[in-house]
Amino acid sequence: MPVETVHRQCNLCEAHCGLRIHVDGAEVKRIEGDPDDHMSRGYICPKAAALVDLYTDPDRLRRPVRKVADGWEEMDWDEALDLAAAGLRRVREAGGEDAVATYFGNPAAHGWSLLSATSLREAIGGRNHSSATSTDQLPQHRTSAEMFGNLGLFPIPDIDRTDYLLVLGANPSVSNGSLMTAPGARHRLRDIVKRGGTVVVVDPRRTETAASASRHVAVRPGGDVHLLLGILNVIFAEGLDEVPDLCTGADQVAALAADWNPERAAPLAGVEAAEIERLAREFATADSAVAYGRVGVCQQRTGTLVHWLINVLNAVTGNLDRPGGAMFPEPFLDLTLTLRLARRGGERGHGRWHQRLSGLPELNGEVPVAGLAKEITTPGEGQVRGLVVYAGNPVMSTPGGRQLDAAFERLDWMVSIDAYVTETSRHADVILPPVSVLERGEVDVVFPLVSVRNTIRWNPPAVPKQEGGKEDWEILNGLTRRLGGGVLTRRRAFSLAARVASPARIVDAALASGPYGVLRRGPFKGLTMRKVKAAKHGIDLGPLEPRLPGALLTADDRVALAPAVFLEAAADLDEQVAQAERDAEDGFDLTLIGRRNLRSNNSWMHNSRRLTKGADRCTAMLHPDDAGSRALEEGAVVRVISRIGEIEVPLEISEDVRPGVVSVPHGYGHGRREGVGWKHAASLPGASVNDITDPAVRDAVTGNAAFNNVAVRIEAA
């Protein structure tokens, strides 16, 4: 058989690089970068080649399984879907709608089956839905909701045109960019410097991104809020601000910043006053400048405040919604469409109910996952007794993994949609495995919302779909159909039909009616799926264009720089200092922060041998002074202890981390839990850092997990 070349994207991270996949029937011969992809221009990272490892992995489930006394028993699809749905209905009948919770993980965002997942949630009903969002970008949703009136409208750094990039808490050289789809981000950042611009990285660790930047600012973990207030203080005090008419509340922000001169901000930020002044002046006087923050500053007690101040900094220097600043993509499909409609009806899309025990607000129908373990273990009305996990591994990826592990044991019914028996799905009664990504055909519907250029791309399947195999959307719709039933009124029957539409149909309709579609642009210029499918390397829909005020959904059609809830929270910053003092008194003298590795992807790529070769990557990185004062040596196994637990990992001494900080990556330690199906992963060393991250340590405004503010101490093991 001849070798054929299929062009599609890698969907492992947000870069969605274009690939050339050489296949011979069902066999994948080689995977390489697609030089003709207009976004990635041939760039790929080592993980792309591992897509074939996922496809051929003997540990991957090919058929549904149910838990039996001595392990797992394979089932037919219909039987498995019936069983899974029957269990959920039982739980719902006994405990009401709130008794069934869902958790959607990160890969859910990387495929168009997400559209069907949303429908499943609606069919389940209730108020106990969570996702990886509340370990990740929840503060950014809330910030967008308050400032722009639209929780799905993200300002994206226009890195290809900017003169000055201020990065806070992101490491795009390793993560390949996040809430910024910019394949080859590492090169794009270097290009800024090459064309005479400046890149400054604010991070407690001198990261791979910091190493190739113009400057590194080693902030104290959690000190970003003070740093930004200090910068804003200087900008307003020196009259460097240039607030557009489009914004309201600049005076209130200026009044807040007035209390934070660089001398006051400096010790709390852990950055010298002179550096704060320099940053302010450079940023405000650059031809164009953009501040960009990601998980390092989301996963903080002050996560929402920091993202608010990042947006404020961009806005008051005239850099919001202009080339080289922070801009808003115009996706072919507006996932916030229903939100826009609801918004017109006066609905905000957040705060409509509160999580039973934490009291934290819902956002976009979700409550913080950090509260899930308690919702399962605490009796009372609304207690969670059943769960659907879709494309997630919360035992490894959410704070307090051990508590969640124990809580899952106590559920009456659990369904996992995952291709592996993971630390999470091992608790399920039924596991429903989708085919692997190379067997799917789809269009990425999420990342055009955050892309540095407007774009659309069709991804054909690279290999034939396994016989009898199902894609995620087929599994999700199978459950929705079985759960939506009961006595159907005509209205419910109609909405059920709409719910179980295939993603292909939904995208078709959305494309036609969207900004690039035939309904708006006419039959010749307008895009259709046929045209999209014919463009093998994707379609470039151009650079980002200014979109304000049109894209705003605030009541007055202006950008709100001073939402009351943020001003209130900012008044409480002393509590941060008090907390640090309590931590120190209790003997927790270090702050734990996270780290990512280029050859790893959260918790689930460790069964690939090619990605896991070489040194143990799950180490505790510590500054030489902190190692010295504790008489700890390089490579020695150390105990990292938090208020809720301890883990043992080898020590890596490095000048790159700021004193007082210890950096440990997440997603490792598969061998510490019995019965997982990814055997190679389980044979690797490491521990799960989320066994010691504390669900009580969270962003004050949203409840997002504050993985980077966990107080710890370190001892020789």
Ligand X SMILES: Nc1nc2c(c(=O)[nH]1)N[C@H]1C(S)=C(S)[C@@H](COP(=O)(O)OP(=O)(O)OC[C@H]3O[C@@H](n4cnc5c(=O)[nH]c(N)nc54)[C@H](O)[C@@H]3O)O[C@H]1N2
Minimum distance from residue 27 beta carbon to Mo ion (Å): 32
Q: Would you say 219 or 430 has its CB closer to ligand X?
A: 219
Q: Which of 6, 17, 218, 532 binds ligand SF4 (CB under 6 A)?
A: 17
626 with 660: CB under 8 angstroms? Answer: yes
Q: How far apart are the first and last CA of the chain?
A: 57
325: DSSP letter:
S
Q: Which of 48, 189, 360, 682 binds ligand SF4 (CB under 6 A)?
A: 48
Task: Give me the 7-36 binding string for ligand X, x by CB under 6 A, dash otherwise.
Answer: ------x-----------------------
Q: Is 358 helix (H, G, I), strand (E, B) or coil?
A: coil
Residues 391, 460: Cα–Cα separation, whole Å: 21
Phi-psi category of residue 387: left, alpha or beta, with phi > 0 → left and psi -120 to 50 → alpha: beta
Residue 136 within binding range of Mo ion, rule CB under 5 A: yes
Which residue is listed with tokens 């090619």? 610
Question: Which of 438, 469, 434, 471 lies closest to 21 in space, CA to CA?
Answer: 438
446 with 109: CB under 8 angstroms? Answer: yes
Q: How far is CA 199 from CA 162, 308, 318, 508, in A?
A: 10, 21, 19, 40
Task: Give me the 608-647 binding string for ligand X, x by CB under 6 A, dash otherwise.
Answer: ----------------------------------------
Q: Which of 707, 711, 712, 714 binds ligand X (CB under 6 A)?
A: 707
**Which residue is nearest to ligand X, using beta carbons?**
296
Question: Which of 228, 233, 197, 231 lies closest to 214 in space, CA to CA?
Answer: 197
From Mo ion, ligand X, ligand SF4, none, interface partner of 16 (C-beta below 5 to 8 A by class): ligand SF4
Minimum distance from residue 656 beta carbon to ligand X (Å): 10
Residue 14 within binding range of Mo ion, rule CB under 5 A: no
Q: Would you say 15 or 276 has its CB closer to ligand SF4?
A: 15
Q: Would you say 44 or 85 has its CB closer to ligand SF4?
A: 44
* DSSP run (H or E) holding 715: strand 710-716
From ligand X, ligand SF4, Mo ion, none, interface partner of 306 (C-beta below 5 to 8 A by class): none
Q: What is the 3-state secondary structure (H, E, C) of 402-471?
A: HHHHHHHHCCCEEEEECCCCCCCHHHCCEECCCCCHHHCCEECCCHHHHECEEEECEECCCCCCCCCCCC
Stretch that binds ligand SF4, among 13-21, 369-377, 523-531, 705-713 (CB under 6 A): 13-21
Stretch that binds Mo ion, among 133-141, 330-338, 538-546, 675-683 (CB under 5 A): 133-141
Q: Which of 6, 7, 8, 13 binds ligand SF4 (CB under 6 A)?
A: 13
Residue 161 within binding range of ligand X, rule CB under 6 A: no
Q: Is the peptide bond before 329 cis (omega within 30 degrees of 0)?
A: no
Q: Is 17 helix (H, G, I), strand (E, B) or coil?
A: coil
Residue 44 within binding range of ligand SF4, rule CB under 6 A: yes
Q: Would you say 33 or 478 has its CB closer to ligand SF4?
A: 33
Stretch that binds ligand X, among 141-149, 343-351, 406-414, 590-598 (CB under 6 A): 590-598
Residues 50, 610: Cα–Cα separation, whole Å: 7
Q: How many residues of this chain interact with ligand SF4, rule: CB under 6 A?
A: 12
From Mo ion, ligand X, ligand SF4, none, interface partner of 44 (C-beta below 5 to 8 A by class): ligand SF4
Report CA torsion sign: 176, 179, 180, 183: positive
Within 130-189, the residues that bind ligand SF4 by CB under 6 A are 176, 183
Cα-trace Rg, the chain:
25
Q: Would you say 182 or 682 has its CB closer to Mo ion?
A: 182
Tokens of 15: 């870069």
642 with 659: CB under 8 angstroms? Answer: no
Stretch that binds ligand X, among 337-345, 350-358, 578-586, 686-694 (CB under 6 A): 686-694
Residues 317, 437: Cα–Cα separation, whole Å: 43
251 with 262: CB under 8 angstroms? Answer: no
Residue 45 within binding range of ligand SF4, rule CB under 6 A: yes
Stretch that binds ligand SF4, among 15-23, 69-77, 281-289, 474-482 (CB under 6 A): 15-23
Question: In sequence order, what are the beta bridge partners of 129?
Answer: 102
Residue 12 within binding range of ligand SF4, rule CB under 6 A: yes
Residues at the contact surface with Mo ion, assessed by CB under 5 A: 136
| Residue ranges binding ligand X (CB under 6 A) | 13, 105-107, 111, 132, 135-136, 168-172, 174-176, 178, 202-205, 207, 219, 221-222, 224, 294-297, 299-300, 390-394, 396-397, 417-420, 422, 434, 437, 472, 593-594, 596-598, 600-604, 666-667, 689-690, 693, 707-708
Question: Would you tell me which residues interact with ligand SF4 (CB under 6 A)?
Answer: 10, 12-13, 15-17, 44-45, 47-48, 176, 183
